[in-house]
Structure 1
Amino acid sequence: MSTATTARIAVRDVSRHFTVGRERFTALDRVTLDIADNEFVTLVGPSGCGKTTLLNILAGLDHPTSGDALVGGEPVRGPGPGRGVIFQQYALFPWLTVRGNVEFGLRTAGVGRRERRERAEHFIRLVGLEQFADALPKTLSGGMKQRCAIARAYAVNPSILLMDEPFGALDALTRVRLQEQLLDTWNAERRTVVFVTHDVDEAVFLANRVIVMAARPGRVFATVDVDLPHPRTEQIRLSPEFAALRNRVWQAVHHQ
């Protein structure tokens, strides 16, 4: 098939099958999806609907059984520097400071010391960790570790961020604060973002568009456009418009 596409990310009839014992399990069934450049898309749905499997395919960490995942019109064959991945686990190097962690990808890419330091400092400030630049991860809270992981992903200048429930292990207040901070960062440093979550409120608050996945087998069940204004504030979260969108997404998830 032709790989020509106007979408930044294009998923074309992607299926992924796994064999568990003697059983064949379908994680994804003919998923087709387009994501535009600089769009913030959330994937929400019940456990087992293939959200993480789809994200791993886009990251190049897994491969479809059939179909194609395209980035910039080219098939994804493996991980690449243009796609930053942020997991629920912080995945920081414990022996490196915040600055060292943020600089790590730049160092491996051969960026010179001065530019590396300037870029690291910029993104450390962007996520509000400038007072902790010399701190080791063991001294940071969970939310601060995740902010460090976000800064590290942004520092290598990926055009796409793939985020797999990055706030799932955090307490409710920290989660809300990081949602707001992530949107502030996205507004300042636009990227195409695909964000996996189980939380309907989080999915609506963050996204330009919510993709509701259905399970058994995993597939796209519904798409909900989110036309809420930016910046997204607590007032937005309490608005009737937010409630209406949340209800639409919840009904799509609950319907299953």
Structure 2
Amino acid sequence: MTAKISFREVVKTYPMKDTTFTALDRVSLDVADQEFVTVVGPSGCGKSTLLNMAAGLAEPTAGEVLVDGVPVTGPGPDRGVIFQQYALFPWLTVRGNVEFGLKLTGLPAEERRRRAEQAIELVGLSDFADALPKTLSGGMRQRCAIARAYAVDPQVLLMDEPFGALDALTRVQMQDQLLRTWSRMRRTVMFITHDVDEAVYLAGRVVVMASRPGRVHTIVDVDLPYPRTEEMRFSPEFGRIRNAVWHSVYHQAPAA
């Protein structure tokens, strides 16, 4: 497998009053091109810190983060980032929000419109292209945020608990929508979540983090075919994988 994202002995520390807090300690991980990887772990294990480094929003204290073999030195159009909060401009329509990132690239208006319409259709919001965010449900707002990320055609999608604020039914629907979109576009996805079922349902591999200091505890392969279906959630194989991840997350030995 060719690594799209690589973490090499990554360390992240923060100065405190009388000491230094180690958020991440020598984390090494490869995410392959077009792979869908989820990252789970107890609170404070450094999941979001790891994603922010891949996004170029934070720098490692030691080690390095690479995309396509090139060290990450800051944000870039090759990486789309989606957070739990939708961060939409309330005065812009769905189309306006999706086009906003494209304007920054200097694309002509006609090409911006074409790519925005394509991304909006991809996430199933064509009927709401002229709607303002305040008129949309939480799930629809998050779909708009995903469309905005897809519109700039990133090779990597970095998602930090994007469905965490949604109700249970909408969350499941959004998982299916995301997988349908991913199956068509096949971008590399690194998806942070605290939900074990979500982690297993979406991913080809689940990375389980340990905390204090944050480090890779184990990696669980999800040997379930795509497309994922509702029936799979209730299958013995899904239950076996889920239990393995659950045990790794919540029954970790303390750090040495």
Indicate the TM-score class for this superposition, using the shorter chain for normalisation.
over 0.9
Instruction: Give distance in 1, aligned partners of 2:232 and 2:122.
Output: 23
Q: Structure 2 counterpart of 1:205, which letter?
A: Y
Name 2:44's counterpart in structure 1.
Answer: 48
Report the Cα offset of residue 145 of structure 1: 0.5
Question: SS at 2:3's partner residue?
Answer: coil
Name 1:31's counterpart in structure 2.
Answer: 27
Report the Cα offset of residue 21 of structure 1: 2.4
Count of matched residue positions in the alignment of Structure 1 and Structure 2:
252
**What's the CA shift string for 1:78-111, capped at 9, x where partnerless?**
0011000000010111111000001111111111
Question: SS at 1:56's partner residue?
Answer: helix
Instruction: Give 1:52-63 correspondences, 5 Å limit.
Output: 52-63=48-59
Match of 1:251 among 243, 247, 250: 247
Instruction: Give distance in 2, aligned partners of 1:10 and 1:203.
Output: 20
Structure 2: stretches of 5+ with no match in the other structure: none
Name 1:180's counterpart in structure 2.
Answer: 176
Instruction: Give 1:231-246 correspondences, 5 Å limit.
Output: 231-246=227-242
RMSD: 1.0
CA contact (8 A) 2:209 2:217 kept: yes
Whether 2:216 is the aligned partner of 1:193: answer: no
Q: Structure 2 counterpart of 1:252, which letter?
A: S
Structure 1: stretches of 5+ with no match in the other structure: none
**Overall identity of the aligned pairs, in %:** 70
Match of 2:104 among 108, 113, 131: 108
Instruction: Give distance in 1, aligned partners of 2:16 and 2:181.
Output: 41
Q: Structure 2 counterpart of 1:33, which letter?
A: L
Q: Structure 2 counterpart of 1:72, which letter?
A: D
Question: SS at 1:202's partner residue?
Answer: helix
Instruction: Give 1:211-226 correspondences, 5 Å limit.
Output: 211-226=207-222
Question: SS at 2:144's partner residue?
Answer: helix
Name 1:153's counterpart in structure 2.
Answer: 149
Instruction: Give distance in 2, aligned partners of 1:54 and 1:226.
Output: 22
Report the Cα offset of residue 237 of structure 1: 1.0
**What's the CA shift string for 1:49-84, capped at 9, x where partnerless?**
000000001100000000010101010000011000
Instruction: Give distance in 1, aligned partners of 2:235 and 2:123.
Output: 27
Whether 2:178 is the aligned partner of 1:163: answer: no
Instruction: Give distance in 1, aligned partners of 2:15 and 2:104.
Output: 37
Whether 2:72 is the aligned partner of 1:76: answer: yes
